[in-house]
A and B are shown apart, each in its own frame.
Chain A
Amino acid sequence: GNSVTQMEGPVTLSEEAFLTINCTYTATGYPSLFWYVQYPGEGLQLLLKATKADDKGSNKGFEATYRKETTSFHLEKGSVQVSDSAVYFCALSDPDDMRFGAGTRLTVKP
C-alpha cells in the first residue's frame, strides 16, 4: 500500500539556519506529493506541491523536488525564521488514497 515516512522531530534550529526535513514515500501508482504546515491551534495548510517526477514545488522560501528514482520529496529552506516554527507534514495523493507522514515539529530560536 501507499505510505509516507518523514524524519522524526523535533527539530530545533537557530534563526537563519538551513533546514532539511526528509520525506520518502511508497506508492503503487504515480502520486502527487505535498508538504503541509500546521501552526499551533490551526488546521493544515498547503505549503507546496509537485504533481510529477522532477517537478519542484516552492513557496515562502521553501522548496522540495519530486525525485522518483529515490522516492523522495525532501523539504528545504535556506534561512529559517522564528515564524517558520510549526509542524510540517509530507503527504501523497494517489489520487483518492491520501497518506500523511507523522509530522515533524520545527522550532526556530532567535
Chain B
Amino acid sequence: NAGVTQTPKFQVLKTGQSMTLQCAQDMNHEYMSWYRQDPGMGLRLIHYSVGAGITDQGEVPNGYNVSRSTTEDFPLRLLSAAPSQTSVYFCASRARQGSYEQYFGPGTRLTVT
C-alpha cells in the first residue's frame, strides 16, 4: 500500500497561473479531503468528497475546484493563483465507517509570487 500520494512536492506559480495538485489513495477509502496549512491556523478544509461523483465545499473553498471521477483520485485545481494561496496543501482520506481516522499525504508546498 502506498497510502495517500501527492504530487508535486513543491511548486512555484506566478499570480494568475492555474495548476492542478494531484492526490491518489489506494485504500479504497470513500472519503477524501483537501486541507491547507498556514502558520498559526492549523488545517482548514478546502473541499471534500464522500464518494465518486460527490464533492462539497469546506471552510475555505474560494479559488479552488475539485472533482472526483474515481474512488482513487481527488485532484485540486487552482483556477487563477493568488499570493494568498501560498500554503502547504494536504490531501487526506478515510473510510466512512468506523473510527474515522484520516490518512494524510506528504503535502505540497505551493508558493505564489
Contacts and interface: CB of A to CB of B under 8 A. Distances in A.
Interface in B48-63: 48, 50
Contacts of B45: 98
B75 interface: no
Interface stretch (A12-20, A62-70, A72-80, A89-97): A89-97
A43 B107 contact: yes
B74 interface: no
A82 interface: no
Contact of B105 (A43, A51, A93, A96): A43
Contacts, number: 49
Given A42-B106, A44-B90, A100 B42 contact: yes
Interface residues of A, number: 20
B50 A96 contact: yes
Interface of A: 4, 32, 34, 36, 42-46, 49, 51, 89, 93, 95-96, 98, 100-103
Interface of B: 4, 31, 33, 35, 40-45, 48, 50, 90, 92, 96, 99-107
14 contacts: A32-B99, A32-B100, A43-B104, A44-B43, A44-B92, A44-B104, A89-B42, A89-B43, A96-B31, A96-B96, A98-B45, A100-B35, A100-B44, A102-B41
